[in-house]
Structure 1
């Protein structure tokens, strides 16, 4: 079997493959032109993330079916510097989710694949969200919170918190890190804030494949 491409700046070939994977899943990722500003860097000191590489590699057998596009890290990367707003419009970051495995998803109301996968993300959080796991869906619409709030209400998304970054800074930073080129983009992060894998394009997050991946991520090697 051909080895998956390691994380890094996406090549034209990778973009094409991701687009095909998105079409198979129901829709391709929506390409996003960089705009606004970023937080300069999203990577923190990764010295404590060395074990996350082993953990990520152990998850390769679970990146199949509906989550086959998830690509495992091959070098330590810590992402606790990612900053966005919570429902009270206060700054929050992945540091605030320490102790939890996090599925970080960036979405927008104008992104059709994002809209289509939100109910599945909601179902995943409703079933598996607990003290050890959380889906953190960050909306990157510009402007106020009215649009994302209305969308979540209309579609019955009731288990996900409203997190936002109207500056699109988080997306821009992830793009500079070679982790994002379109929406939706989803990162799997362990309880220490260490990146395990990334995916550009939608997935059936309430599928058995996705649940098995999350269960695997919640149980690091030698735990």
Structure 2
């Protein structure tokens, strides 16, 4: 007697392809989890940027109580940032770079004669240089007029601003280089830079740089006693 009923099909093993896909999915999830943890760590406690500039961020934090009054518009550095090695020229046309001022705290300022707030700010910058200029501090005001190179020199002479060394960049590349790192949004722009070329604070717009508020801030920034603020 024959059995006419078909034999039940044996159970098929799980597809190898599905197994591989499942394993792959687990791996992707695991990698994503690791990435999320790592990124979260960066957001929580690891500042981006050049870590050799962390000292400038620490200085900015100590100076924060002094960012008030006539210099209240300054923004203190929150993450390490080494500025580009900006290139410009001195009064004789000789090349200069920001790195030439290493070891000094520098107030880097970009100005132009076509910028009304810049022209109004220049006497205060000249006054700051007259009062605090030294081996430890200098105002480096870089003119970015792109047409008549004599016009800014005439302006300074007519206004009797004699304390500032003359620097210029007729191509205005210094502005573009600062803009590329988010530190030049308009004119004038000033950046307080430590002796390693790192940002301490930035301001978009003018300030009364020879005011009591500004003098106290700069003195604290250039003094070893700043750590005791």
Give the TM-score range, shorter chain.
0.7 to 0.9
Tell me which residue corresponds to 2:7: none
Map residues 100-115 of structure 1 onto 2, 5 A cutoff: 100-115=104-119
1:123 corresponds to 2:120:
no
The one of 162, 167, 170 aligned to 1:163: 167
For residues 94 and 146 of structure 2, what CA distance do their matches in structure 1 show?
A: 17
Tell me which residue corresponds to 1:51: 55
**Pairwise CA RMSD:** 1.5
Question: Rg: which structure is higher?
Answer: 2
- TM-score normalised to the size of structure 1? 0.77
1:93 corresponds to 2:101:
no
**Where does structure 1 lack aligned partners over 5 or more consecutive residues?**
1-44
Cα pair 2:175 2:184 within 8 Å, conserved? yes
Which one scores higher on RCO, CA 8 angstroms, separation ≥ 6? Answer: 1
Tell me which residue corresponds to 1:187: 191
How many residues align? The count is 179
Shift of 1:222: 4.6
Query: Runs of 4+ in structure 1 displaced over 3 angstroms?
Result: 220-223
- Any idea what the Cα deviations from partners look like across 1:83-117, whole Å, max 9, x if unmatched? 11111212211111111100000000011100001
Cα pair 1:106 1:171 within 8 Å, conserved? yes
Q: Which has the higher helix share?
A: 2
- TM-score normalised to the size of structure 2? 0.75
For residues 223 and 201 of structure 2, what CA distance do their matches in structure 1 show?
A: 15
**Where does structure 2 lack aligned partners over 5 or more consecutive residues?**
1-48
